[in-house]
Amino acid sequence: MKGKRRKSREAALQALYQWKLAGGEAEEIESHFRQDEGFSELDGAYFAKLLKGVISESGTLQELIQPHLDRSFAELSPVEASILLIGAFELRHHSDIPYRVVINEAVELAKLYGGTDGHKYVNGVLDKLASRLRAPEFG
């Protein structure tokens, strides 16, 4: 059974995908998702924190991610871009979550929603980013 946090990440991925394709305000997108009948099964506060945090910091997060990419951020698929943004946000702001858990959660999202080898790409990029943002954890 999936935990509430994993479901929150999945919903945030779907919401960010929608945002990347259609734009819109975070509050508007969040409101739409809160109306979904399955919303009560996830951690609504964590979903909102991910959605609003990633949207408000997307420029900074992209700058953190870009040095670890083999192409421009704009060339990534909307799914992989959104997963990397969520992972970067969690690495940057949620030191209570071990970096390995952040990466694993992102890889699982990429396996479910991304392209064929997208999970390997996400894993490599976030591993490099984690070594920079969470250097003490690498000991």
Residues 86/62, Cβ–Cβ less than 8 Å:
no
Give pLDDT tens digits along the chain (139 positions). Answer: 578 999 999 999 999 999 999 999 999 999 999 999 889 999 999 999 999 999 999 999 999 999 999 999 999 999 999 999 999 999 999 999 999 999 999 999 999 999 899 999 999 999 999 999 999 987 6
- In this structure, what CATH number is given to the domain that contains residue 53? 1.10.940.10
Q: For residue 21, what are its two tokens?
A: 């394709």
Tokens 């952040």, located at residue: 102
User: Nearest CA to 81 among 11, 17, 5, 12?
Assistant: 17
Whole-angstrom distance, CA of residue 37 vs CA of residue 39: 6
**57 lies in which domain range?**
4-138
Whole-angstrom distance, CA of residue 107 vs CA of residue 34: 25
Residues 6+ away with beta carbon under 8 Å from 19 = 26, 29, 55
Which pTM was predicted? 0.96
What was the pLDDT predicted at 38?
87
Number of separate domains in the chain: 1
